[in-house]
Structure 1
């Protein structure tokens, strides 16, 4: 296809996204399910070209902004508090699933080398950040479970990609060193954290000097790709670098963004992430036709691959159950032996965690990047696609039902001490103190009585004002400057409560948005 036809196909794809999202809403289905099945159906429409996905290009285009969006809004305090559980899922569960799938693949296909079996396990082991976001947005989970799943989705791609890299290298070279692999893994992670943290720090310094809303938003958009590309160029984990940069930017955006930048950037990111997620699932669906053509058609799949593929898909699902319930069982034993610092999930929460293991674009992109000389490559491609289809269609559609059946037996005891109402009261007190400090002249005369009472409108104040036009303008400016000063005081109190651990990120974002809107309204009225 020429470039114009490619562009027309992209526009047609996004028009299909709108229709499929509407269908999903009417049928009460997760949008990811509608997009995946719709893309798969459209791939076989006569006359449409076969979509060929460049795996490296897909990862570098889609993964950084979607990881950045997840990291940006991650509750950092909860993330640190549950880091052991997150690493258990993001590293332990990925390694364990890789091992289980490798053993099952070797038993089913004895002729397949161990390195190839390990590569297959690494392909299908990491749950996908995009799939998790798409499904978790539609369900309500206890805070601890939500933190664990969101944290896992940010970090597990790095573990899976590293395992895949070593497995392919072992297959091609015929050698493998466990100590060398472990050292390289640590280097990739630590290096990724350092690169991402440095780029996040540069972003903070840059934004404090740009002084232009549009430039600040552009810089914010570019930081995710900058971190990912820099990490890959320096031979560390681009995934970890992007997450580290996102966590840094998300922490400091409350103090470096003006209200107008924060609201515009958030609106822009919402649209960008929506289009990115939709395109990912459509491309996965579109790729079905290419995968089937590559392996010889549907008949070949059913005749020669159906049995092993289904058993490997089952192994992927069962392995997560074994890991989650196994770790939870160990925590129960430790608690019974007097180790009070551990807190098991409980059967209901462990069931939810086990069932929430959807795969997506990373699994497909990594499978498509397999060398042509890799033994069992066709079977690996079909298996990767089957894992995506089963986990998204089956687990994604039924996760809500599983949550209702399992119950919510997990409550985070380390919740911040202030609720929304208490935080609001603290903000209001800080604002009132700022207004009281600015609403009186040196001789005690009230300059802004309408602000203290909060009942008069601007029109009423304008109609009742007596004085020259210049005095009226100065009074209006002073009026709204006082409102903006009150907003600044309220925001400072809000950030201080968040930094002290008195409120969580959800309350911070809710009240910060109210203050931003109040500031923009005052600035617009003043202008």
Structure 2
């Protein structure tokens, strides 16, 4: 394909992403479903080239920044609190699902070697971080379930990739050692933590020295790829290295980034992650044509592979439910025995956890990386694609309904100790005290009376508002509606002055930024 034609294809894909996102919004569908469906349909449009994905390139381009984004914003305190539950899903559930899928695949296709069946299990067992993010952004979950799913999606790719590599090696060598596999996994994980920790620490120490907003934001772009590539170069887990670096950078960005850098950086990352997630699902759908052509067409898929793929999809879904409900039953048993440190999520919470197992780009990329001549390679490709389609289209469209049916809410012990209004009152009190300390000169004369009055009044209002949000809600909304009207009027006048030539671009941009900040504050307070 000519480079100009490739660029035209990328522009067309961007237009398709915008159109499909808009359609999903209008129809009330998860964007991932619309993008995957749209990409699949576009794959068979006559005249369009067949999309052929390089699996290693796909993982290197898309996985590190998306893992970094998830680690950057995850609640670290809740991550530590629920670490055992996260590791149970990220390691235990992946291994259990791999074994179940391998057993089912071997029962359906006895001619397929056990190692190849295990490779299939490793390919489809880990739920995908990108697919989970794309669906969870549109639903509301209790904090514990949300942290469990987000944490699982950050770490389970490492488990799946390690199991896959061992399965490939077992086919090549004809032997497998569980002890050696466990030792290798621990080495990969610890090495990934060390590499990621080093990259994160270097970024924290050096980012302030850059002295420029755009350089600081650009440096944050390099962190995920640096951690991932360096981890892989040292033959440790690039996934865990990226997550570790993201956790450190996300924790310290509140200290090393100024307000302007944070606003610009957050906006930049939000757009980049949006485009990356959307592109991933478009590429997955667009690659279907190449997979189908490789195995001999739809007729071969329907006649020889459809039923086994459907049974494998059912098996991995059932395996996840068995693991989740089994883990919850063990916790309830331990509590009955007097060990009350951990609490179960309950039947409804376990149902949501069991159903939230969408697969995505990692599953497809790993399947595409299966070596040529590997036993059952064509079936592994079709099964991987079938699992992606099934989980995203079925679970992705029904997860929101299931969550609403479950009616879940945060338990008392898992809620923050202070509400937002309580925290605002605490901040306002400290600010008022500090302003009062500095509002007088050395002779004791008040030199900032209006500023002192403003902060003292704000502290009193915040204290009176805390705990009585419902009582003041209508008046508060009316207040900020008026503020927004005033901002809109000011913006219109600012543009009139600029269009009339009374002010230049610099004045326009500075005053417009002030109005934007004021508007963002008003919308935040109103919501």
Alignment TM class, shorter chain as reference = 0.7 to 0.9
Superposition map of 1:232-247 within 5 A: 232-247=232-247
Tell me, yes or no, if structure 1 residue 434 matches structure 2 residue 434: yes
TM, length-normalised to structure 2: 0.86
Asked if structure 1 preserves the Cα contact closer than 8 Å seen for 2:21 and 2:35, the reply is yes
Asked if structure 1 preserves the Cα contact closer than 8 Å seen for 2:208 and 2:216, the reply is no
Q: Which deviations, in whole Å up to 9, do the C-alpha atoms of 1:194-233 show, x marking residues without a partner?
A: 1001100000011121111111111011111000001000
What is aligned with 1:452? 452
With over 3 angstroms needed to count, the CA separation of the structure-2 counterparts of 1:407 and 1:414, relative to structure 1, is closer
- Structure 1 residue runs of 5 or longer lacking an equivalent are 456-485, 487-519
Superposition map of 1:335-346 within 5 A: 335-346=335-346
Asked if structure 2 preserves the Cα contact closer than 8 Å seen for 1:68 and 1:224, the reply is yes
What is aligned with 1:16? 16
Three-state SS of the structure 1 residue aligned to 2:115 is: helix
Asked if structure 1 preserves the Cα contact closer than 8 Å seen for 2:94 and 2:125, the reply is yes
What is aligned with 1:217? 217
Tell me, yes or no, if structure 1 residue 135 matches structure 2 residue 135: yes
Tell me, yes or no, if structure 1 residue 423 matches structure 2 residue 423: yes
With over 3 angstroms needed to count, the CA separation of the structure-2 counterparts of 1:106 and 1:277, relative to structure 1, is same
How many equivalent pairs are there?
462
Aligned equivalents of 1:225, 1:447: Cα separation in 2: 52
What is aligned with 2:118? 118
Three-state SS of the structure 2 residue aligned to 1:334 is: helix
Superposition map of 1:4-403 within 5 A: 4-403=4-403
Q: Which deviations, in whole Å up to 9, do the C-alpha atoms of 1:365-417 show, x marking residues without a partner?
A: 00000011111111110000000001000000000111122221652614332
Aligned equivalents of 2:142, 2:3: Cα separation in 1: 47
TM, length-normalised to structure 1: 0.86
Aligned equivalents of 2:275, 2:437: Cα separation in 1: 47
Aligned equivalents of 1:326, 1:79: Cα separation in 2: 22
Asked if structure 2 preserves the Cα contact closer than 8 Å seen for 1:143 and 1:411, the reply is no
Aligned equivalents of 1:148, 1:189: Cα separation in 2: 19
Three-state SS of the structure 1 residue aligned to 2:287 is: helix
**Alpha-carbon deviation of 1:103?**
0.3
**Alpha-carbon deviation of 1:521?**
4.9
Aligned equivalents of 1:299, 1:372: Cα separation in 2: 23
Aligned equivalents of 2:346, 2:294: Cα separation in 1: 45
Asked if structure 1 preserves the Cα contact closer than 8 Å seen for 2:213 and 2:261, the reply is yes
Asked if structure 2 preserves the Cα contact closer than 8 Å seen for 1:346 and 1:410, the reply is no
Aligned equivalents of 1:329, 1:412: Cα separation in 2: 22
Q: Which deviations, in whole Å up to 9, do the C-alpha atoms of 1:144-186 show, x marking residues without a partner?
A: 0001000001000000000001000111111111111100000
Asked if structure 1 preserves the Cα contact closer than 8 Å seen for 2:141 and 2:409, the reply is no
**Alpha-carbon deviation of 1:433?**
2.0
Asked if structure 1 preserves the Cα contact closer than 8 Å seen for 2:20 and 2:35, the reply is yes
Aligned equivalents of 1:406, 1:422: Cα separation in 2: 30
**Alpha-carbon deviation of 1:446?**
2.2
Aligned equivalents of 1:102, 1:212: Cα separation in 2: 53
Aligned equivalents of 1:296, 1:238: Cα separation in 2: 35
Asked if structure 1 preserves the Cα contact closer than 8 Å seen for 2:144 and 2:410, the reply is yes
- Structure 2 residue runs of 5 or longer lacking an equivalent are 460-512, 519-527
What is aligned with 1:469? none
RMSD between aligned alpha carbons? Answer: 1.7
Three-state SS of the structure 2 residue aligned to 1:50 is: coil
Aligned equivalents of 1:148, 1:297: Cα separation in 2: 40
